Structure 1
Amino acid sequence: MNTLLDVSDRLYLDVADFAHATPHWFQVLAEVWTEAGLLVFGALFLAGWWRSREGSSRMMALALLAPLATAFGYVVSEALKSLIDEERPCRAVVGAPASLVTCPPHGDWSFPSNHSAIAGAAAIALALSWRGLVWLTVPMALLMAFSRVFVGVHYPHDVTVGLLLGGLVAFLVMRAAVRPVGTLVETARSSRNSAVVWCAGRGPRAHAPAHAERPRRARHGAY
């Protein structure tokens, strides 16, 4: 265990030295991305919900579950963090250069990385609900996790475990809840409340009457 921590310390120092050797604009970009990436994931959740309004009930269920599964990933990560009192590397690693962002206060523990857990959960949840996004969400999550080490507030093992933990929790939540949530979507789509129907979407059947009318007109015109 100590050997693994020593390796993580050395990797942290290597990344910290690399970070301080990069241009100032690149450092600022990393500082911005470490927080802004969460906003991008949020925008993708909204886009996924919007595109699912005319999709199947399962498609809408997955879109609705994506942010919920991500929240579960954060909760599990935070619970684990409260059990393991690991000091932040920006305070604990001897000889480390100053972190690019303010080092979190004592008591805001390091393991695992909540940012990475959220990123990992969001990447997997979005990939399951919107298959074509996997090539975008996974690199986004990896970059966000790396940025937490780059700015100096996490060890490499913090972000690695955070990514894997968040992704696993999101996968399990999505698989376990898709059927019951799909049933709720079906119920919402048959509601008489227009606001509920707007939120759940009308699904692919909303276009069925228009298509069904065309053959009838064609047959009537033939007589």
Structure 2
Amino acid sequence: MRRSDRLSEIIEIVQDGRLHLARDIAERLEVSVRTIYRDFDTLVASGIPIDGERGVGYMLREPVFLPPMNLSLAELEALHLGMAIVAEAADTELQSAAASLTKKIDKVATANGTVPKRWGFGVYPFVQAKIGFEHMPRIRAAIRNKEKLKIAYLSLENHASTRVVWPLQNAYWGRVWTMTCWCEKRGDFRSFRIDCLTSCNLTGANFDDEREQLLEEYLEKINAEMEQNVERH
């Protein structure tokens, strides 16, 4: 877990206003007690209203909120639908984040009674989208870190190939996910269906971002074609 994520988790834990022992938080987050002490020092130094001391415990004096947003019911429904899709059709990390975010949205949205308690969407299972999602954590990490991937791909025509690619973006087409990248074998942009990947591995080699300047132009060119291909298959 990244330190920024752990700090967010600690804030979430102490949001209930109760006293929490560092050792209990350390056990929950699977880090040392000394690490938790340092994290609390960082949070206090950054202005988070936390009271406590080592060996006694810590508690939040007052809630920590994002800046207030006024969302219409339609906007809330759109957000809820997006989270429902991610919870069904994403990798484990994003599924967990979507579930956590949905609970927070529900709690805030229904707090004043203006939004019905049962206001969200029911979403059908995204079976096809789930295929190949074992690769998504590596793909997302590679996009963030500008790291090349070595992939094995089996096309819809049953043609197998191995490529080294520069992953630039993922896209969801209503039924399947694709990865848009620069393909070293073809010397051009390509989009690969993630459910057609038979293997996907980080190479440890980084790429520059010069191809990203041409990505938008490429995407505009293939958007219509991709929609037709997904519908056909």
Q: Indicate the structure with greater helix content.
A: 1
TM-score (norm 1): 0.28
Give the strand-richer structure, 1 or 2.
Answer: 2
